[in-house]
Amino acid sequence: MDRDELETEVEEWVEDGIIGRDQAEEILARYDEDDDSRLAVVISLMGAVLVGAGVLWYLVGNWEALPRWLRTVLVILAPIGFAGAGDVLARDRTPRVGHALWTLGAAFVGPSLFLLADLWALEFDLEWLLLAWAALALPAGHVRRSRPTTALALFVLAGAVATLEAPTDLPIAVGSLGVIVLALGIRYRVRTERELADAYRLVGTTVLLATLLFFAIEDWNYERLALEPSAVALAMGFGTVVAVAGTGYLGRTGAASRLEVGWAAAGAAALLVSAASISLVPAFPSALALLVVHVSVLAVLVATVAVAVDVASSALVNLAAVGLFVQVVLFLGATIVDAVSGAAALVLSGLALLALAVGLERGRRTVLERMRGSEPTGAGNGPFATGDDAEE
């Protein structure tokens, strides 16, 4: 049995009361991944990338020389072939190599769709091709419970929403999608689908933070921006309300922790407050709107770290650290760099970044040590004692 499958089974045993948490940790410790298995993951991913690059290189170099029917067959068979080979290898006691090829197959779906549209002069807008890619890749990720395949599909979906939202002044639909995906990650953890929960939580948080940090770019002229009730924004907004309400319901029934409920609510509130503040400029001071955006980002980062400790996820801790670094860089660019010119700006910015680096290193170490010394919390006998991967 694969390590991920074993962890899922063990969590279900804990949930059903068959074994205790200490026994579960002892079982997993006996089957802990060694350096060879980790090396296999890295080599598998590198091999899949090289194979994909080689296939693309060949197709690009010989594309015009091939008849259209052959090009069509190759374009269709490429993702199917990679996914089929990955499925066979995953069932043949080489799951890591199989998952790498499976992910490569999902990645090839997009180029195949674009090439087919070009081959047969099919006039599809970019957003619809991206939606089709996500619609094919996302179920594939769920079937294999593949983190990278699921994450790839979710990022493609975010790209489709961003493309649909491109004409609007304030792109809040992508951030709303981030909140929805984040909330789905909480739901999947409740259902003990750990692999899917990891992918959804990380992608949702990344998309939400990316949207808020995009708002924090000081070069924007806030006076010209306003909220627009576009169809995609309204749809994503409704989805966000449903997602937060669903997470709240899980909290009331004891299936989700208070921290997770607060996490989803904080993400939705941060997005709404930031967009509203920007849209009220110039009646609302532009500098104050920028400050509101940064405070909103900080609130989401704090909530992310709190949940990371709750679910013992070092990946969420690392993501929050990267988000904080980007935020500080943007804040320095909007304050010190603009207020002080020349060498003084460089020195002050450098000192601030060095202080941030020290704080991040010590803070991250403290958080990881706390995660190792305590079990993930949750109400009842639900699947909240899930140690995602709390190793440094």
Q: Whole-angstrom Cα distance, residue 314 to residue 132?
A: 33
Please give the helix or strand (H or E) that residue 197 lies within, else none: helix 194-215
Q: Whole-angstrom Cα distance, residue 340 to residue 343?
A: 9
CA 326 to chain centre: 16
The pTM of the whole model exceeds 0.85: no
Tokens representing residue 96 in the block: 């890591």
Rounded to a whole number of angstroms, the CA Rg of the chain reads: 23
Q: Are 363 and 237 within 8 A, CB to CB?
A: no
- Alpha-helical (H) ranges within 63-125 are 68-91, 95-119
pLDDT category at 366 given cuts 50, 70, 90 is: confident
Mean pLDDT, range 305-334, rounded to an integer: 87
Q: Which residues contact 170 (CB under 8 A, 6 or more apart)?
A: 215, 225, 226, 227, 228, 275, 278, 279
Q: Whole-angstrom Cα distance, residue 360 to residue 354?
A: 10
Q: How many angstroms separate the first and last alpha carbons of the chain? A: 25
Characterise 254 by phi-psi region: left (phi > 0), alpha (psi -120 to 50), beta (else).
left
Closest CA to 80 of 109, 45, 56, 123: 109
Closest CA to 371 of 379, 363, 383: 363
Tokens representing residue 210 in the block: 């990316």
Highest mean pLDDT pick, 1-15, 272-286, 367-381: 272-286
pLDDT category at 218 given cuts 50, 70, 90 is: low
The Cβ of residue 235 has, within 10 Å, a number of other Cβ atoms equal to: 15
pLDDT for 164 equals: 92
Write the CA distances from 12 to 19, 145, 341, 386, integer angstroms: 9, 16, 59, 10
Q: Which residue has the higher pLDDT, 245 or 333?
A: 245
Please give the helix or strand (H or E) that residue 240 lies within, else none: helix 231-252
Q: Are 105 and 135 within 8 A, CB to CB?
A: no
pLDDT for 220 equals: 67
∠ Cα 354 356 362 (to 5°): 105
Closest CA to 179 of 99, 97, 275, 94: 275
Least confident of 99-103, 127-131, 189-193, 194-198: 189-193
Closest CA to 387 of 42, 38, 3: 3
Give the chain's mean pLDDT: 82
